[in-house]
Amino acid sequence: MPPLQFQPLSSQPTPSFWSALTSHKLDKLKLDDAQQTITAWLEEGREVVDREAASSSGGGGGTVGVDGVLGIGANAFGEEGERPPTGSIPLAGVFKNFNTIEEFRATDTKKDLFNSVVDSIIASFSSDAPVLNPFLLVTFADLKKYVYHYWFAFPALVSKPAWEISNAGLQTVDDEDVQEIRRLGEQLLENGAAGSEGFLVKGPKGQRVAAPLSHATDFFAGIPDDERTVAFHDPSSRPDNPGWPLRNILYYLSHRHALTSLNVVCLRSGAASRSGRLSLPSQLESVGDRPQAVGWERNKAGKLASRVADLGPMMDPTKLADQAV
């Protein structure tokens, strides 16, 4: 049984988010650098048909996976703004804007922030509505140059031992099953269930029932392992790897509800959904007060480093004047 690997999330702030951050910083925050809550959205992974490849290889094949992103737009600060794309789910996170680049670069403050988010995840485990996938965004806005330094983190608790996937790997799912599971998930949301990124499913095809993640112990009582299923909205589009948010869902289920074997359904848009059988080789080792956590977003070179969005060409009045003919 190979260990299960997860596709890291990638972030995608829209240009309007930086505009909103600029006005938020100038009009509301000013020099206040306290952390605050913001909202983003999480898209599902999808497959698109590559017309070029489809025509040159004589039809068939020709699909390209596009990972869903964690998008953040002008509505992040709770004001009116862009709507999240259809089919995406909202995700809350912690935001902190530093006033100087030195503070932004300092490792200790970022580490403390990250740990506080991890603590909040673990603390929420004992509540009825666990917050499993909050994200962290730290920024430094160079407003004179329209250059924004930023770094996202998607804290994930490291499971020891690691989850494994059956040798069959992830399989495609029947469209009917996906439809049914999606419908159940939507019903849960309408009934006000928290934790929109995933939910539990049991029962035979056509007669499935669903419940929020926090009900796992009761919901799966007396159900054989191979009928226990967790479904989640999967930003990954890779055929063999589920997306990042599953990590904390699995950690929560094993840590809090002592589940060691279950099926997973990765809900992706179109016909790209997949399912697989996961298991833990043994119960979680008991760790101290805090398990190891990872999740700072890596840059293009795969290194841990912040990113820069340079919107000068789009927003800087002097550069715009140069372009205007």
Partner 1 sequence: AVRDYLSPVLRESKFKEHGRITPEEFVAAGDFLTFKFPVWQWEKGDSSRARDFLPADKQYLITRNVPCLRRATAVNYTDADEDAEKLMSFLDEAEEAAGPDGKKRGKDEEWVTTHIGRGEQDCSYENDIPPPLNMLHDITPTSADQTITEIPDISDSPTLGPSSAGATGGIANLSLSDKQEVAGEEEIPDMDDIPDMDDEGAGLEEEDDAAVKIVHPSADEVKSTVGQNLLQVRTYDCIISYDKHYQTPRFWLFGYDENKNPLTPAQVFQDVPADHAFKTMTMEPFPHSGQQLASVHPCKHASVMKKFIDRMDAQAEVASGVGAGGSTAPGAGAPGGSGKRKWGIGGMVRKVTGGSGGSKDKKEEKGEDGDEAEEKGVQVDFYLVIFLKFIASIVPTIEVDSTTATAM
Which residues 244-303 are close enough to bind partner 1 by CB under 8 A?
A: 244, 247, 292-296, 298-300, 302-303
Q: Taking CB under 8 A as the rule, does residue 90 contact partner 1?
A: no
- By CB under 8 A, residue 102 contacts partner 1: yes
Considering only residues 111 to 130 of the shown chain, the ones binding partner 1 according to CB under 8 A are 111, 114
The verdict on 304 binding partner 1 (CB under 8 A) reads yes
Which range binds partner 1 by CB under 8 A, 66-74, 123-131, 191-199, 218-226? 66-74
Shortest distance in whole angstroms from residue 115 CB to partner 1? 11
Q: Per rule CB under 8 A, is residue 191 in the interface with partner 1?
A: no
Burial class from Cβ neighbours inside 10 Å (0-12, 13-18, 19+) for residue 195 reads: buried
Backbone dihedral region for residue 165 (phi beyond 0: left; psi -120 to 50: alpha; all else: beta) = beta
Q: 256 by DSSP, 3-state: which?
A: helix
Closest by CA position to 278, among listed 178, 169, 174: 169
Pick from 224, 199, 194: nearest CA to 209? 199
Minimum Å distance from CB 128 to partner 1?
28
Q: How far is the CB of 151 from partner 1 (least distance, A)?
A: 9
Q: Give the residue carrying structure tokens 């260990």.
A: 3
Residue 323 near partner 1 by CB under 8 A? yes
Interface with partner 1, residue 80, by CB under 8 A: yes
Distance of closest approach, residue 97 Cβ to partner 1, in angstroms: 17
How near is the Cβ of 136 to partner 1 at its closest, in Å?
12
Question: Could you say which of 33, 35, 39, 66 contacts partner 1 (CB under 8 A)?
Answer: 66
Binding of residue 109 to partner 1 (CB under 8 A): no
| Residues binding partner 1: number (CB under 8 A) | 82
Q: How far apart are CA 166 and CA 109, in angstroms?
A: 40
Told to check if 33 binds partner 1 by CB under 8 A, we report no
Q: Does 234 bind partner 1 (CB under 8 A)?
A: no
One DSSP character per residue, 34-102 reads --EEEEEEEPPPEEEE-HHHHHHTTSS--EEEE---EEE-GGGGSSS-PPPPTT-EEEEEEEEEESSHH
Q: Which parts of 34-53 interact with partner 1 (CB under 8 A)?
A: 43, 47-53
**Site for partner 1 contains 81 (CB under 8 A):** yes
> For the chain, first and last CA: distance in Å?
63
Q: For residues 129 and 158, which CB has a smaller minimum distance to partner 1 in the complex?
A: 158
How many C-beta atoms surround the C-beta of residue 180 within 10 A? 18
Cβ 286 to partner 1 shortest distance, Å: 19
What is the DSSP code (8-state) at residue 196?
T
> In the structure encoding, which two tokens stand for residue 201, read together?
């499913």
Task: Kindly state whether residue 105 participates in binding partner 1, applying the rule CB under 8 A.
Answer: yes
Task: With H, G, I as helix, E, B as strand and everything else as coil, classify residue 259.
Answer: coil
- Determine the Cα–Cα distance for residues 153 and 163; give it in Å rounded to an integer: 22
CB of 14 to partner 1, least distance (A): 7
Min dist CB 50 to partner 1, Å, is 6
Q: Pick between residue 126 and residue 300 the one whose CB is nearest to partner 1.
A: 300
Task: Please give the DSSP secondary-structure letter assigned to residue 235.
Answer: -
State which of positions 192-231 bind partner 1 (CB under 8 A): none
